[in-house]
């Protein structure tokens, strides 16, 4: 999860959802890691956090290129395959289920 040291409601929500489902994650702080900051800017067009990616073990990059966003479009809550940015709790849970991290029955 690409994040920043000064939290926000979206970061708090993402952490809570991941913790509620007992899913491990690694937090990469874009305000302390310039290459990470540049990646988020390239992926989203903004410094939008949290940006959650599905990565191969030991890597920080999406295992598959995320689906593109239209130029200038907000990435907020947009399911991009291997990535989702600034999701609501429901959007994040649905993304996790679609990607096999939780079961559909867990959403009820």
pLDDT for position 104: 79
Q: What is the pTM of this model?
A: 0.94
Q: What is the dihedral of CA 94, 95, 97, 98, to 10 degrees?
A: 110
Q: Where are the domains of the chain?
A: 2-107
**pLDDT of the chain, 108 residues: tens digit per residue:** 999 999 899 999 999 999 999 999 999 999 999 999 999 999 999 999 999 999 999 999 999 999 999 888 999 999 999 999 999 999 999 999 999 999 978 776
Axis-axis angle for helices 89-98, 9-20 (nearest 10): 40
pLDDT for position 81: 96
pLDDT for position 108: 65
pLDDT for position 72: 83
pLDDT for position 7: 83
pLDDT for position 71: 81
Pure H helices in 1-108? 9-20, 34-44, 89-98
User: Pairing relation of β-strands 83-85 and 28-29?
Assistant: unpaired
Identify whether 50 is preceded by a cis peptide bond (ω within 30 of 0). Answer: yes
């Amino acid at each position: 999860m690409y994040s920043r040291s000064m939290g926000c409601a979206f970061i708090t929500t993402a952490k809570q959802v991941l913790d509620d489902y007992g899913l491990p994650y690694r937090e990469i702080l874009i305000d302390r890691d310039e290459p990470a900051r540049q990646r988020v800017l390239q992926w989203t067009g903004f410094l939008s956090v949290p940006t959650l990616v599905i990565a191969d073990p030991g890597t920080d990059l999406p295992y598959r290129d995320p689906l593109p966003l239209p130029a200038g479009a907000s990435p907020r809550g947009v399911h991009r395959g291997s990535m989702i940015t600034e999701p609501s709790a429901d959007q994040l849970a649905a993304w996790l289920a679609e990607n096999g991290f939780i079961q559909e029955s867990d959403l009820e």
